[in-house]
Amino acid sequence: MNDCIFCKIAKGEIPCYKVYEDDKVLAFLDIAQDAFGHTVVIPKKHFANIFECDEETLSTCISAVKKISNHYVNHCGFEGVNISNNNGKAAGQTVHHIHFHIIPRKSGDGINIYNELAGDNTPLDKQLELLKLN
């Protein structure tokens, strides 16, 4: 995609701080610097979101997320990671190229990844009626 910033990064048209790269995946530090080590993992091939992404590419991305996360915990002094992925505008996706965020974590780091949810009192059996895969 010509105007996709992540495609331009994957093609080397825009520089990045590469954490990991193979023939299908690229991982780089997020320039927002909102958390130490905040890493973005993308497939080099463009897919807007999880709904468009094929199973093989998705699996390759998740394998890279796991490899990078293990490296952060086993070799970089972190105790865990948060992994996130937003799909669609309603879910907060701002760059429409599927990507995963890895936030390396240490106990007591003061990072609050999750906003408090408003809650929902719909009975679980009613929710299941709508959501269950048949």
- pLDDT at 42 > cutoff 90: yes
Active site residue 99: yes
Beta-carbon count within 10 A of 17 CB: 10
> Scanning the structure block, which residue is given the tokens 């010509």?
2
Per-residue tokens: 7: 């495609």
Q: Which of 96, 97, 99, 101 is catalytic?
A: 99
Q: Please, where are the H alpha helices in 11-98?
A: 55-75
Collapse the DSSP code of 26 into the 3-class scheme (helix H, G, I; strand E, B; otherwise coil) and give the result: strand
* CA nearest neighbour of 61 among 82, 32, 85, 96: 85
Reading the block at residue 37, the tokens are 């080590």
The DSSP 8-state label assigned to residue 123 in this structure reads: -
**Mean pLDDT score of the chain:** 95
- Give 76-126 pLDDT, tens digit per residue: 999 999 999 999 999 999 999 999 999 999 999 999 887 777 889 999 999
Q: pTM here?
A: 0.93
Cα–Cα distances in Å, from 32 out to 28, 37, 96? 12, 11, 17
